[in-house]
Amino acid sequence: MHADALLGAFLDLTPDWIAVHDLQGRPVLISSAYVRAMGQTANKRSGQTPFNCPEAFHDLPVFEWKIGTPSPALQTLLSEVQVELEGNLHVLQATRMLLKDHAGRPWGTLCYAHEVTRERTMEEALEEQHEFLRNILDSDPSLIFVKDSEGRFTLVNQAMADLYQQTPESMLGKTVGDINPNAKDVERFEAQDREVLQHKEARKFPPFLITDAKGQRRWLYTTKQPVYRRGKPLDLVLGVTSDLTHLHETQHALQTRETEYRTLLEQAERKARELTLLNQVQEAIANKLERSALYDAVVEAIAEQLGYTLVIMTVPEGDRILRVAYRGYEDLPLTVPAEGSAAGWSLRTGKALLIEDVQGATDYVEAMPGVRSCISVPVFSGQRVVGALVVESKNRPLEQQDLNLIQRVSEQLRIALENAELHEKTRRDLVRAQALYQVSQTLHHQGTQEALLEQICQSVMQAMPARWCLIYIMNFEQQSVDFAASTAQDAAPLPIIPFHELNAGLTGWVLREHRPTLSLKGVPDEREGAEVQEHRAKRDIGSLIVVPLIYQGKPMGTLTALNNMQDPDYTESDVDWLMSIGNQVALALAQRQLIDQIQHLAYHDPLTNLPNRLLFEEQLKQAIARAKRLGTKLALLFIDLDGFKNVNDTLGHHIGDLLLHTLSQRFKERTRESDSFARMGGDEFAMILNNLRDPADAVQVAQEFLDLLRAPFHINMHELFISASIGISVFPDNGEDVSTLLRHADTAMYRAKASGKNDIKSFTPELAEKARERLSLETELRYALQRGEFQLYYQPIKDLQTLETVGHEALLRWIHAERGFIPPDRFIPVAEESGLITALGAWVIHEACRQNAEWQRMGRPPVRVAVNISMIQFATSSFVKTVKSALQTSGLGVEWLELEVTESVVMHDVKMVKERLSELRDLGVRISIDDFGTGYSSLKYLQELPIDTLKIDRSFVNAVQSGSSDAPLVRTIILMAQSLGLNVVAEGVETVDQLVYLQSLGCSEAQGYHFSRPLPPSQL
């Protein structure tokens, strides 16, 4: 009873679901909790109301239990199921059991369920809270962790796990040493943990740098504190670590940016100072300062703007360095040795030098105590190093940017110096170009040579510049100074040095070497003698340049430029320029000499050096003007030598020229200084007699000149005699202009020559009339050939043995339409003088050949026809061609033509005559020498010339009858011709006695009035 009561009480009180059913499913025992859950009431002991187990129980495994055996552990039998009853979800831990009796026979089933719905709800709520907390922790970027006293992680959020590339779960139970290979980090963290656990209070630790698992450097800041429960600290450490990497990077970036800004600001300030510096340098350049002032301005600007301890501008001076501008140290020495100094190194190498620490530097000379660093930069002008810019610093080491800046300043200086030098060179070139132009203009100077050279010296002194300028014109044959020009500027003139001293010094060296030389001040020159060196020292002469004056390889003198000891030395460019001036001067002198020579040749006769016709006519013009102005008279003497042509023809032109030269000197010596004597050409001379008181005085002077010719001239072992014919015209009686006076004097001269030569004739109106008649005759002569007024008359040539006609001499006759017969002795000279003789002679040859050929065609016995040839016609190059043409045109056989040339023609030019006669002989034409005996031909020439006949001049034939002493000459000529195998023709036979005498001498042929006068063809 008690057991049943207890069982009932238990079933009522237990919260568990208990239901025992028999094998038929009828409930045997039902707990109240089960009934309530099922929403029913029942008698727990009766099985009247069926209570089935929830369907969820049907799937539970069935365990067997036999009464009397130990029951299994409940936890091993329970399975969790969810049952929904009356809309409520119940979470149960349930099991099913098959009940057996003692005999092991099944008698019923037990369904048991313990409801854990509340626990599960609380667990879910707790899990949600835990998940919520986890989300909060994991979402926090801070590294959050909890470690126990052993250092094992009991809580880790995701950020902490990510640091080590772990999961939070994998880190639990591990120590920091298990996941961090960096021993220093592990030791730091463990020390922090011990400090927190020891002091039981929170600690903030300084930021630290670690390298995470990805190899990234991270800055962390950790706060650690004990974990409390109910106000008491546990052996747990809570750590919260903030990642300050971004903050640190931001701060670092800010600091870097601040540093950069500060640097930029400093750079901007420095740049501003640099720009100000460069601007000041540019201003100094723009102001075109003199070099020393420019250096000083640049040094001042560097010191002011950049604050260097010491700034120096240096230039080389021998083996030392000279400071020309400086700032920063008053006791700076003026010079220092170039060797071993920074400036010396730059000057020597042309390179910049940066010495960051001067202690122990090999290329540094201490000029100021306490200097720490030094820069030296070369300063160029073109390719030449002219100085070095040096800066030194006590406060800080100089850097590359300092070097770069000073190099920029140096480059600006370079541009300034080059511009200054270019400006100076341009100015100097302009001055020198102007000087060269002035010199070139001076070449056309019409003044004296002294004025010309003085102007050149002045131009040289302005352009060089020079203190002195000297030009020496030397006469090397006479070893003398022909001319010297000396000019001085702000100095005493230099004395002219004699030839022997010049030749012994630099001047002589320059003239021998044909090249210029430069002598510098203070440098002894062994080419100078002691006297010259003493002279230079005494006169304080510095450098000098000597250039030769050379034209076409021939030295003429020297041009010298000198300065004094205070002036800078001349340079090679100065030498080149002065040499160009020297070339101009040499050219000027040579041109002047050449112009003088040309002018002299233009106005003087080269043979006699007397004034020629051009100069004489100008002198006559001036003399006429002066006579008009003074109311005086003057006489013009026209002198023509008699027979001078014979001298040229017989003795040659060389002897003739010597005769003219000697004769002119004889005349010139007797000419007054107030008069003028000239050679007008050939053998003609003229003289002006100024201030003539009476025309008779002119005749007297003319006679004195003829008297001068009476004395013989001894020329190359020849004793020569010559006479002259002189014509005189007087101003104003016979003309008032040059041409009239010359024409009238010429007319008078021809009258004197016509009257027998060696005579004097003054001009008269009658002479003028004769001159006009001659001119008229020349004019008529030009038309006579066209009008057919010329005829040929023929004089027979007889054989003296048979007296038969063997030939005819063709003689030219002029039958004028109005004047009638004009004798040959009147028109032949005019034809020769006017040049008409060539055309006239050609007509004669053609007509004579034509007539002879016609006679032969008429049946007459063939005879030769002889034609006289003028010397002028014979000398023409076309003469032989004319003869051939006449023969071909007429058809006359060449053997029937004989050409007569006078003895004077033969002796005119023996070589030419011989060649011309040989051409005629080769043609087959006969040659005869006319008027033989009147010239100067020699037997030698007669033997050499290809001639056939000698014609004895009529003057010798006339002498036969008169009994003259010339009669034996006829016999001699005939004998000589016979010995040479030549035919002899006697001219001018007029009497029987002459004929008989010639026959007795064996003369071959003759012609003359005794046989027949010259007749026209129709009368023969």
The last residue of a domain, from among 578, 599, 620:
599
Q: 910 with 1002, same domain?
A: yes
- pLDDT of 602 over the 80 cut: yes
- pLDDT of 439 over the 70 cut: no
Q: 117 with 129, same domain?
A: no
Classify residue 1: in a domain, yes or no.
no
Q: 231 with 311, same domain?
A: no
Classify residue 1013: in a domain, yes or no.
no
- The one-character DSSP state at 444 is T
Spatial separation of the C-alpha atoms in residues 726 and 760, rounded to whole Å: 5
Write the pLDDT tens digit of every residue in 852-865.
999 999 999 999 99
Q: 58 with 103, same domain?
A: yes
Return the higher-pLDDT residue of 486 and 28. Answer: 28
Q: Cβ neighbours of residue 1012 under 8 Å, at least 6 residues apart?
A: 795, 796
CATH number at 275 reads: 3.30.450.40
Classify residue 887: in a domain, yes or no.
yes
Q: 801 with 841, same domain?
A: yes
| Domain tally, the chain | 6
**Structure confidence at residue 939 as a pLDDT band (50, 70, 90):** low
The last residue of a domain, from among 378, 394, 426:
426
Q: 365 with 274, same domain?
A: yes
Please report, rounded to a whole number, the percentage of residues in the chain having pLDDT higher than 70. Answer: 91
CATH number at 693 reads: 3.30.70.270
- pLDDT of 935 over the 80 cut: no
Q: Are 96 and 106 in contact (CB under 8 A)?
A: no
Write the pLDDT tens digit of every residue in 890-899.
999 999 999 9
- pLDDT of 756 over the 90 cut: no
Q: 995 with 883, same domain?
A: yes
Spatial separation of the C-alpha atoms in residues 236 and 441, rounded to whole Å: 118
Residue 101's identity, in one-letter code, is: D
Question: What mean pLDDT is predicted for residues 431-445?
Answer: 65
Question: What mean pLDDT is predicted for residues 401-429?
Answer: 80
Question: What mean pLDDT is predicted for residues 314-330?
Answer: 86
Count of Cβ atoms closer than 10 Å to residue 503 Cβ: 16
CATH number at 66 reads: 3.30.450
- HEC profile of 28-44: EEECHHHHHHHCCCCCC
Q: How confident is the prediction for the chain on average, in pLDDT? A: 84
- pLDDT of 938 over the 70 cut: no
Write the pLDDT tens digit of every residue in 208-255.
888 877 788 888 889 988 988 877 888 889 899 888 888 888 877 888
Which three-class secondary structure state does DSSP give residue 760?
strand
Q: Are 285 and 297 in contact (CB under 8 A)?
A: no
CATH number at 875 reads: 3.20.20.450
pTM of the shown model: 0.41
Classify residue 661: in a domain, yes or no.
yes
Q: Are 386 and 315 in contact (CB under 8 A)?
A: yes
Question: What mean pLDDT is predicted for residues 793-802?
Answer: 94
The last residue of a domain, from among 599, 633, 652:
599
Q: 112 with 135, same domain?
A: no
**Angle at CA of residue 215, ends 212 and 217, nearest 5°:** 65
Q: 954 with 872, same domain?
A: yes
Classify residue 436: in a domain, yes or no.
no
**Structure confidence at residue 446 as a pLDDT band (50, 70, 90):** low
Burial class of residue 104 in the structure, from the number of CB atoms within 10 Å of its CB (0-12 exposed, 13-18 middle, 19+ buried): exposed
Cis peptide before 27 (omega within 30 of 0): no
What pLDDT is recorded for position 47?
Answer: 46
- pLDDT of 351 over the 90 cut: yes
Spatial separation of the C-alpha atoms in residues 740 and 937, rounded to whole Å: 41
Torsion angle, alpha carbons of 918, 920, 925, 928, to 10: -60
- HEC profile of 797-822: EEECCCCCEEEEEEEEEEEECCCEEE
CATH number at 238 reads: 3.30.450.20
Write the pLDDT tens digit of every residue in 482-539.
777 777 777 778 888 888 878 878 888 888 888 999 888 877 777 776 777 777 777 7
Q: From its phi and psi, is residue 381 left (phi > 0), alpha (psi between -120 and 50) or beta? A: beta
Least reliable range by pLDDT among 36-50, 434-448, 597-611, 625-639: 36-50
Question: What mean pLDDT is predicted for residues 25-47?
Answer: 70
Write the pLDDT tens digit of every residue in 253-264.
888 888 877 777
Classify residue 994: in a domain, yes or no.
yes
Question: What mean pLDDT is predicted for residues 292-305?
Answer: 85
- pLDDT of 559 over the 70 cut: yes
**Structure confidence at residue 46 as a pLDDT band (50, 70, 90):** very low
Strands 983-986 and 949-952: parallel
Burial class of residue 787 in the structure, from the number of CB atoms within 10 Å of its CB (0-12 exposed, 13-18 middle, 19+ buried): exposed
Q: 224 with 277, same domain?
A: no
Classify residue 259: in a domain, yes or no.
no
Helix, strand, coil fractions of the chain, as percent rounded to 5: 45, 25, 30
What pLDDT is recorded for position 760?
Answer: 92
What pLDDT is recorded for position 445?
Answer: 59
- pLDDT of 990 over the 50 cut: yes
- Structural domain of 136: 125-242
Is the dihedral angle over the CA atoms 406, 412, 414, 416 positive or is it negative?
Answer: negative
Classify residue 438: in a domain, yes or no.
no
Spatial separation of the C-alpha atoms in residues 335 and 434, rounded to whole Å: 41
Which of 110-121 are b and which e, b meaning 16 or more Cβ less than 10 Å from the residue's Cβ?
A: bbbbbbbeeebe
- pLDDT of 155 over the 60 cut: yes
Q: 130 with 107, same domain?
A: no
Q: Are 550 and 556 in contact (CB under 8 A)?
A: yes
What pLDDT is recorded for position 813?
Answer: 94
Torsion angle, alpha carbons of 805, 808, 813, 815, to 10: 50
Least reliable range by pLDDT among 237-241, 674-678, 826-830: 826-830
- pLDDT of 790 over the 80 cut: yes
Q: Are 827 and 777 in contact (CB under 8 A)?
A: yes
Q: Are 164 and 212 in contact (CB under 8 A)?
A: yes
Q: 513 with 482, same domain?
A: yes
What pLDDT is recorded for position 48?
Answer: 44
Return the higher-pLDDT residue of 793 and 413. Answer: 793
